[in-house]
Structure 1
Amino acid sequence: MPVTGPGTPPGGALGRRLDGEPEPQTPGRRPHPGPPPADATRYTSAFSGSLPPSGTPARRPRPRPVDPPTEIIKPVDDDYDDEYDDYDDYEDDVPPPRTDSAARRTVRTVGELLITFGLVILLFVVYEVYITDLISAGKQDDATHALDDKWGANTVQADPQRQAQYDLVEGEAFAKMYIPAFGPDFKFSIVEGTSDKHLEIGPGHYVNTALPGAPGNFAVAGHRVGKGAPFNDLDLLGACDAIIVETRTEWFVYRMLPKASEVAGWAQSDKAKNPKCGKVSPLGAPYDKTVGQEIVLPTQGEVIDAVPHFEGEVPQAQQVALLTLTTCHPRFSDRQRLIVHAVLTQGYPKAEGFVPEEFKEQ
């Protein structure tokens, strides 16, 4: 029977070396235990408490894959039929449209007519103010070119001993007008006649009134709004402002007479001392009612008489050479007439390259 004692390995066998030989025993020393049983070197997992054999690297446990959470898809409720059922119920609840009363239809009709009428008026104003300006500008250009061609074809020089001759044809230009106070762009050809079709071309000469530079009253009409509006700013002219008229052979310079408020004390006024007013003064009888600016009714045709506002006869030799400009007043209305009277102060024969000094007045 094998001898056992403290430190004897299980089974009672003595320790042996790996080569099979018995391991020598040392007195007082516990014998080295032999190799452990085969099942002692086995280990199950990191949680069993056993260790792997000496010299064997520890193996990490492979992580367990984590499954994604399960997505729960709600079932689709088929409730379209219920929605349409609700819509059908809504249609059943809508009351039928009300029938308009006669008063409502009348008010609506009147409103539509007023709107239409307003649009027509607006279009008419646009036409009168803007479109007719473009049309008249084209007609004015044609009349000016025709006049230039006529003047260019005739090279006869002015004869101071003879009265200027004019070829007056209604609707055709025979002279030009300039107002330096309105800027260098103000220039219009004057046509013969004052009918609507004539004034669409430009300022029109009153038939049977005096001619430029001659004794009497050279009267010219023009529009104030639309159709070129040559006299739009006529109310802005002041006493002594120049109005220049060009004919085929001469330049004529007219200057506006003093206004009614300036007649009294004119000789002592500062304006009368201005050099350009040297030949301008109240005219006196029979022109004591003839002032630089006045507003009259359309029926007061006496403003274009040879001697305005005078009922008697004045011999032509005693008549003053006047220029009278007429236009509508106020703007956008023909209720009245704005009148400007000017007196002839200077005349120059035309010569090549000559321009009157009055053009420099601004």
Structure 2
Amino acid sequence: MRDRVRVVVQGGARRGRRGGFARLLWVGAELITTLGVVVALLVVHQVWWTNRQAVAAAQERVRALEEGWAQGDAPASGEGPSPGPAAEEDPVVGQTPGAGGTPEAAREPAPGPGAPASKAPPQAGPGPASAQAPSYEEAYAVLRVPRLGLVVPVAQGVDKRAVLDKGYAGHYPGTAQPGEVGNFALAGHRNTHGEPFRYVNRLRAGDEVLVDVRGRRYTYVVGKVLSETTERDTGVIAPVPRSTVLPDAGYSEPGAYLTLTTCTPEYTSKYRLVVWATLKS
């Protein structure tokens, strides 16, 4: 009788241990599932919701600029708050990824010398876009790339939260303005926050890039594409753009250039993709 009792007690202990282990596994599975749902929601917010917000706000800004130009008004400087948290991607050249703020290459002047609107502004040849430089972080121009169906505002500066995360293209301080001799250099997100430059890798030689400023249109023609360079290759935004990493990539003669920079590969900030265009005479 004693032996039977002893066997029953031992079996119950084993079942108790198995039950405790099963409960532990269940709790662990619940935690993993909850974490997965949270991560999925964050991804949806970052990839989809921030895009939707930024695109809507950017298009509204384009409309406001065009209405102001039609009425002969100067663009308003108020831009509103950033649509969301800063993205990890950083398309700026001359800046450590994720550092934020203005890159070293853009703090001082560089050394040395969409579809189109239904009614295009007057064409403009070489020459400054305006007598006065726009205020920092102010949207003052509209970039159009007919091949990509891209229409996006251009703001002064390349700060992530104040400019790029709004879905704008950011103008590198110290580089030329539209129509000027030199390099009108822009940065834009390739993924998240409007991702205006997501498909610039599809641009080919001969494609047109249009820049509207206060009712004047500057037409640039794509000449060269640098598919990959480092984030510190500041030569790509120099007045005469030429890679310091790949010396054979770029130009050697002064001219009126436009440069688009963004991250590559997609969803990373490891390298930079560069598109160069020249002002159409």
TM-score normalised by the chain length of structure 1: 0.52
Task: Decide whether aligned partners of structure 1 residues 123 and 175 sit closer, same or farther in structure 2, where only a CA change above 3 A counts.
Answer: same
1:306 aligns with 2:224: no
User: Matched residues in 1 for 2:201 and 2:123: separation?
Assistant: 34
- Residue 54 (structure 2) aligns with: 136
Task: Decide whether aligned partners of structure 1 residues 103 and 207 sit closer, same or farther in structure 2, where only a CA change above 3 A counts.
Answer: farther
- Residue 221 (structure 1) aligns with: 187
User: Matched residues in 2 for 1:169 and 1:195: separation?
Assistant: 13
Please state whether the residue corresponding to 2:235 is helix, strand or coil: helix
Q: 1:296 aligns with which of 217, 229, 234?
A: 229
Q: 1:251 aligns with which of 197, 205, 217?
A: 217
Q: 1:199 aligns with which of 141, 151, 164?
A: 164
- Residue 267 (structure 2) aligns with: 332
CA contact (8 A) 1:170 1:193 kept: yes
Please state whether the residue corresponding to 2:56 is helix, strand or coil: helix
- Residue 87 (structure 1) aligns with: none
User: Matched residues in 1 for 2:128 and 2:64: separation?
Assistant: 23
CA contact (8 A) 2:123 2:219 kept: no
Deviations 1:144-201 (A, max 9, x none): 2432343234289999897431451233211111111123xx2111111211221122
User: Matched residues in 2 for 1:160 and 1:143: separation?
Assistant: 26
CA contact (8 A) 2:54 2:194 kept: yes
Q: CA RMSD in A?
A: 3.2
Bigger CA radius of gyration: 1
- Residue 65 (structure 2) aligns with: 147
CA contact (8 A) 2:221 2:277 kept: yes
- Residue 43 (structure 2) aligns with: 125
CA contact (8 A) 1:164 1:249 kept: no
- Residue 187 (structure 1) aligns with: 151
Please state whether the residue corresponding to 1:196 is helix, strand or coil: coil
Q: CA deviation at 1:100?
A: 4.8
TM-score normalised by the chain length of structure 2: 0.65
Please state whether the residue corresponding to 1:98 is helix, strand or coil: helix
Deviations 1:117-137 (A, max 9, x none): 332222121111110012112
User: Matched residues in 2 for 1:296 and 1:162: separation?
Assistant: 30
Higher relative contact order, chain-length normalized (CA < 8 Å, sep 6+): 2
- Residue 110 (structure 2) aligns with: none
Task: Decide whether aligned partners of structure 1 residues 162 and 235 sit closer, same or farther in structure 2, where only a CA change above 3 A counts.
Answer: closer
For 1:246, give the aligned amino acid: D
CA contact (8 A) 1:256 1:343 kept: yes
Find runs of 4+ consecutive structure 1 residues off by over 6 angstroms.
Answer: 101-106, 155-162
For 1:129, give the aligned amino acid: V
User: Matched residues in 2 for 1:215 and 1:246: separation?
Assistant: 17
User: Matched residues in 1 for 2:178 and 2:126: separation?
Assistant: 16
- Residue 118 (structure 2) aligns with: none
Task: Decide whether aligned partners of structure 1 residues 306 and 240 sit closer, same or farther in structure 2, where only a CA change above 3 A counts.
Answer: same
For 2:33, give the aligned amino acid: I
Question: Aligned residue pairs: how many?
Answer: 212
Q: CA deviation at 1:337?
A: 1.3
- Residue 354 (structure 1) aligns with: none
- Residue 7 (structure 2) aligns with: none
Q: CA deviation at 1:326?
A: 0.9
> Aligned residues: percent identity?
30
CA contact (8 A) 2:70 2:215 kept: no
Deviations 1:52-95 (A, max 9, x none): xxxxxxxxxxxxxxxxxxxxxxxxxxxxxxxxxxxxxxxxxx96
Task: Decide whether aligned partners of structure 1 residues 212 and 161 sit closer, same or farther in structure 2, where only a CA change above 3 A counts.
Answer: closer
- Residue 99 (structure 1) aligns with: 17
